[in-house]
């Protein structure tokens, strides 16, 4: 298991860019986030602006994404609400989601651009992440 990462360095980017084009086998969206502890008052499910997500890739790589916000493009506001975020990711996954691109956001933040067979994209800006492997998909996966 790798260490928790907070910034996308050149070395880490070179490792992650090998995941571009990897199909997403399953997604798990958690109802709480690692970032909740840093807030004075945790968000409710309806007003949650970020989530923790596990991406299970077809090549047996699992990306644990912490404090992820989801947008449909660079000009859009993040999708708000646990249900809205989960439904957006589920719809995207049902249409053949892949990691289209690994990019860098403000302050060297990891941004994953997910694409699908419908030519739709999602930008997933991540506060922290960890790379691992998986053997079996969880039952509650999307």
By C-alpha distance, which of 56, 35, 43 is closest to 109? 35
How high is the pLDDT of residue 138?
Answer: 84
pLDDT of residue 1: 47
Per the prediction, the chain carries an average pLDDT of 92
Confidence of residue 40 (pLDDT cuts 50, 70, 90): confident
Residue 115, pLDDT score: 96
Dist. CA 127–CA 7, nearest whole Å: 8
* Higher-scoring residue by pLDDT: 86, 1: 86
CA 125 – CA 19 distance, rounded (Å): 16
Which run of H or of E encompasses 137? none
At residue 46, the pLDDT reads 95
Q: How confident is the model at residue 137 (pLDDT cuts 50, 70, 90)?
A: confident
pTM value is 0.92
Rounded CA-CA distance 5/103 in Å is 15
The tens digit of pLDDT for each residue in 74-112 reads: 899 999 999 999 999 999 988 999 999 999 988 889 999
């Amino acid at each position: 298991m790798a260490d928790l990462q907070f910034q996308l360095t050149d070395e880490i980017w070179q490792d992650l860019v090998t995941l571009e084009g990897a199909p997403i086998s399953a997604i798990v969206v958690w109802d709480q986030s690692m970032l909740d502890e840093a807030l004075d008052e945790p968000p409710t499910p309806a007003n949650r602006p970020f989530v923790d997500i596990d991406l299970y890739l077809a090549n047996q790589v699992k990306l644990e994404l912490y404090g992820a916000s989801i947008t449909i493009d660079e000009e859009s506001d993040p999708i708000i609400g646990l249900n809205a975020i989960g439904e957006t990711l589920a719809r995207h996954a049902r249409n053949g989601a892949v990691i289209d691109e690994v990019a860098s956001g403000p302050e060297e933040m990891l941004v994953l651009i997910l694409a699908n067979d419908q030519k739709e994209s999602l930008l997933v800006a991540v506060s922290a992440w960890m790379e691992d492997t998986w053997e079996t998909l969880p039952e509650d996966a999307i």
